[in-house]
């Protein structure tokens, strides 16, 4: 409370951390109510640090989606992703650890240890409770999680179904420090249209290419022109070897066409305009082993 009895505004950063694939990005999108971070069933989908901003009359929570922590880090991209994930804890006011219901692995323990070391208020979201049958199996798991460290609240939820999100929001808001808003109230993400469009295209490629997906694949938007009715986009899909071009393009161009169509539909739906999308596939040699190339592509190396 302030001197005049009004409730003070609260604002702060909330680091969403957890091993790959527990549903961090899905949870961020559910909290913000739009897709700010892409989601696929594969680990290592999120490569960048992405902010999702939730502004209310009395507070602003800035959620930070991170690439998951990885135990093995043989390549530069993995090392960069780990540094990004750790950096977000250092800057945070609250840590939100996401785990999967009924699954506690060595990687979960590693991440929990790092969260506990930070000394920050720690909340644990036990996600994917929709997969638990019968529900009675959940209680002992929640109890065992609660005793693993100094955890302020353990909140079972389902990011895909949207259950218990309000309880989580309240738990987060209550722990934000007092302070003015850091971002304009209407801003939901720190990323611009080019980044979000490139990510949507990458999501569609990841979803369609499955096991065949080239490891070092990235997407960059080269040109973006927009008026009130139409968006013209030209984007490049970068791969590491010329042999991978064929995989991305597919028989007679079928894969690339289908990915482009799915991306176009989502962009049209999200931005509410007609979209003309051109996709090119180009080779950039071994970029994921070169930190310079990572920097060129805008991946945080910190």
Give the residues lining the site for ligand GDP (CB under 6 A).
18, 20-26, 39-41, 45-46, 68, 127-128, 130-131, 158-160
Please state, in angstroms and as integers, the Cα–Cα distance from residue 81 to each residue in 19, 65, 69, 103, 193, following that order: 12, 12, 7, 23, 22
Shortest distance in whole angstroms from residue 195 CB to Mg ion = 15
Residue number, 81 or 281, with CB nearest to ligand GDP: 81
Residue number, 41 or 252, with CB nearest to ligand GDP: 41
Residue number, 11 or 213, with CB nearest to ligand GDP: 213
Contact between 154 and 124 (Cβ < 8 Å):
yes
Stretch of residues binding Mg ion (CB under 5 A), selected from 2-10, 18-26, 85-93, 115-123: 18-26
CA 230 remoteness from chain centre: 28
Shortest distance in whole angstroms from residue 58 CB to ligand GDP = 28
Shortest distance in whole angstroms from residue 249 CB to ligand GDP = 26
Please state, in angstroms and as integers, the Cα–Cα distance from residue 283 to each residue in 99, 275, 287, following that order: 37, 26, 10
Site for Mg ion (CB under 5 A): which residue of 40, 46, 244, 255? 46
Q: What token pair was written down for 111?
A: 């991440």
Site for Mg ion (CB under 5 A): which residue of 10, 14, 25, 287? 25
Shortest distance in whole angstroms from residue 211 CB to ligand GDP = 15
Spatial separation of the C-alpha atoms in residues 33 and 49, rounded to whole Å: 18
Backbone φ and ψ for 84, nearest 5 degrees, come out as -65, -45
- What secondary structure letter does DSSP report for 122? E
Binding residues (CB under 5 A) for Mg ion: these are 24-25, 45-46
């Amino acid at each position: 409370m302030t001197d005049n009895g009004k409730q003070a505004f609260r604002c702060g950063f909330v680091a969403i951390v957890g091993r790959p694939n527990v549903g961090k990005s899905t949870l961020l999108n559910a909290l913000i109510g739009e897709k700010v971070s892409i989601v696929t069933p594969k680990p290592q989908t999120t490569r960048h640090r992405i902010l999702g901003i939730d502004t209310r009359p009395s507070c602003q929570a800035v959620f930070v989606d991170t690439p998951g922590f990885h135990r093995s880090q043989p390549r530069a991209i993995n090392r960069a992703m780990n540094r990004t994930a750790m950096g977000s804890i250092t800057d945070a006011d609250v840590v939100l650890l996401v785990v999967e219901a009924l699954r506690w692995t060595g990687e979960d323990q590693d991440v929990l240890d790092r969260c506990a070391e930070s000394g920050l208020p720690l909340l644990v979201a036990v996600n994917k409770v929709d997969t638990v049958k019968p529900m009675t199996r959940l209680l002992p798991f929640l109890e065992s999680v609660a005793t693993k460290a100094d955890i302020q609240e353990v909140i079972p939820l389902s990011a895909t179904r949207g259950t218990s999100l309000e309880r989580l929001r309240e738990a987060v808001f209550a722990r934000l420090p007092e302070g003015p808003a850091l971002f304009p109230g209407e801003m939901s993400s720190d990323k611009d249209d080019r980044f979000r469009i490139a990510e949507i295209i990458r999501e569609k490629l990841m979803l369609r290419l499955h096991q065949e997906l080239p490891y070092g694949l990235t997407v960059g938007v080269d040109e973006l022109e927009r008026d009130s009715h139409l968006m013209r986009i030209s984007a490049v899909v970068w791969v590491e070897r010329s042999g991978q071009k064929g995989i991305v393009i597919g028989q007679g161009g079928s894969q690339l066409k289908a990915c482009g169509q799915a991306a176009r539909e989502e962009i049209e739906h999200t931005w509410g305009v007609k979209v003309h999308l051109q996709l090119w596939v180009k080779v950039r040699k071994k970029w994921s082993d070169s930190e310079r190339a990572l920097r060129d592509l805008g991946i945080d190396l910190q």
